[in-house]
Amino acid sequence: MSVAKHKFRVGRRGLILVGGAGLLVLALPPARALTRPSLQEAVNGFTGGTPVETGKVKLDVPPLVENGNAVGVTVTVESPMTAGDHVRRIALFNEKNPQADVAVFTLGSRAGRARIATRIRLATSQTLIAVAELSDGSYWSSSANVIVTLAACIEDLS
């Protein structure tokens, strides 16, 4: 933005400013790191801004894991799972991976039980959040902190 603005200046001083802005941009981290939404922004993207209530959702994840490449996660939601009252979707988001999204599961009344389990990657110790969308349009969530220990010896790739 500042580059475009300065371009309209004709003086030598303006050109120097342009050069300075260019260097600044180069020094910043890669674009994808900049574009990662916060945990809250990711949740808002899923709910469309509808307020999220705490409760109904149980997020089971070990507090300390041996390896972040496969962290077992179970999400259970209190719901009768009938045609009129069920969980539509369950979403998982993380705080510190390069991307906030983990997965979105679509259940519906035929699931019979509002519970899913999966294995996910966590790049480092961080917060994880599960958000459930119910058939009445309400959103419920639960979060958990996970400590990821690092392997002592990392194998070379060759």
**What is the contact surface with other proteins in residues (CB under 8 A)?**
62, 64-67, 69-72, 94, 97-99, 101-108, 110-113, 115-122, 149-158
% helix / strand / coil in the chain, to the nearest 5? 25, 35, 40
Choice between 52 and 128, CB closer to other proteins? 128
Choice between 2 and 74, CB closer to other proteins? 74
Tokens found for residue 92:
């998982």
Tell me how many degrees the CA angle 72-134-73 measures, rounded to the nearest 5: 5
Closest separation between CB of residue 118 and other proteins, Å?
Answer: 5
Closest separation between CB of residue 76 and other proteins, Å?
Answer: 11
Are 88 and 116 spatial neighbours (Cβ–Cβ below 8 Å)? no
Buried b (16+ CB within 10 A) or exposed e, 25-38: eeeeeeeeeeeeee
Choice between 52 and 71, CB closer to other proteins? 71
Phi, psi (degrees; rounded to nearest 5) at 14: -60, -40
Choice between 94 and 142, CB closer to other proteins? 94
Closest separation between CB of residue 57 and other proteins, Å?
Answer: 16
Closest separation between CB of residue 40 and other proteins, Å?
Answer: 17
